Chains A and B, each alone.
Chain A
Amino acid sequence: MVVFEKPKSLTDAEFHYCPGCTHGIIHRLVAEAIDALGIEGRAIGVAPVGCAVMAYNYFACDMVEAAHGRAPAVATGIKRSLPENIVFTYQGDGDLASIGMAETVHAATRNENITVIFVNNAIYGMTGGQMAPTSLPGQVTQTSPYGRDVSVAGYPVKVAELLSSLDGPEFIARVAVNNVKNVKNAKKIIEKAFQNQIDGKGFSLVEVISSCPTNWGMTPDKALAWVEEKMIPYYPLGVFKDKTAEQEEKKA
């Protein structure tokens, strides 16, 4: 009996991610959600610029490679053209919360019926560890060598909180993948973010707190501990907006 197999929605291509990077887990969770919902044949993914730039080789569905930060706009075009398909973006923090902030906010406020997987590891990984919009105060990176000084570089962007202040989006949640319990919850939430699109409910974003051992300069297990000790206190987990649930609550 096979108890563990690769999701159908992942190709056989080998991931290029660093040892201990949680992109692999998140790819798997997305693929499992697509498999579980039986939407592989109509899924279209949009890959970002960043560490996940080659996600188009890993997801077995049709894929489009977007310019840096533009994935929500590209996904908007795809979804408007093919409303019956299931369109998702997979983006990092530099991509989504810095250069692509306008595209993110406006896709959310239009309640564009797409699913956004937002991987927040508080650093630019692909380019070698620069300060991200989500780098923590005091965090040492290549471009904040003395630690992020908020009086110069400003404060981290809390994407889930920011977007949940909008009237538009259907569903905004933050999860983490640093331990089994959190991974299991992340799986549930990511599946919901896709189910929402199937149900025509609209923009659903899942912020996934992730780790980057290589650029944080930590071993994988230390990086996971850092997620627990530093990141989650700054970026609390939970569902920040669920319009359908709110409406049902009101009715009840």
Chain B
Amino acid sequence: MTTQILIAGFGGQGILFAGKFLANKGLLEGRQLSWLPSYGPEMRGGTANCSVVLSDEPIGSPIVNKPDVLIVMNLPSLDKYEKAVAPGGSVFVDSTLIERPVAREDVKTYYIPATKLAQQNGIPTLANMILLGKVMRESSFVSFEGIEDAVRSVVSAKHADLYEVNLKAIRLGYEYGA
């Protein structure tokens, strides 16, 4: 099985980091994977997106053209990528930042007020990981088990203090609406 994931939002929202978490999770599970960031003059404030492909077979294109899973953290990203989602795919929306609903009717939709939850829980920069928690609850392309190891491998040694809060964020999202 091959799952194509596209994460999109503003630079600075941890879009690439969220993708790296999924990539590391995939690596720990012995899956085939690719992680491809958008790059260029979009460090903070601009748009950023990240393609992650997880598969049991060698991966062809690392570019996600038709995401099975779309995670969006701003309106321009929803506008841009909604049409591309594969029929039957899933769209995860940060509903604090995006007010409109998903127009497509042939996809599964999940609305999570991730940014609000992050602020309420004192982890204002981790809405991205809250969304990932929800993604892991609702889909099965990676398992929730072993998230500790994946967080450890994606949080650099220099920022070891971020280990606990990232775990907290993922768990928050995982429990949200459950």
> Within the complex, are A and B direct neighbours (CB within 8 Å)?
no
- Which positions in B face A, CB cutoff 8 Å? none
- Which positions in A face B, CB cutoff 8 Å? none
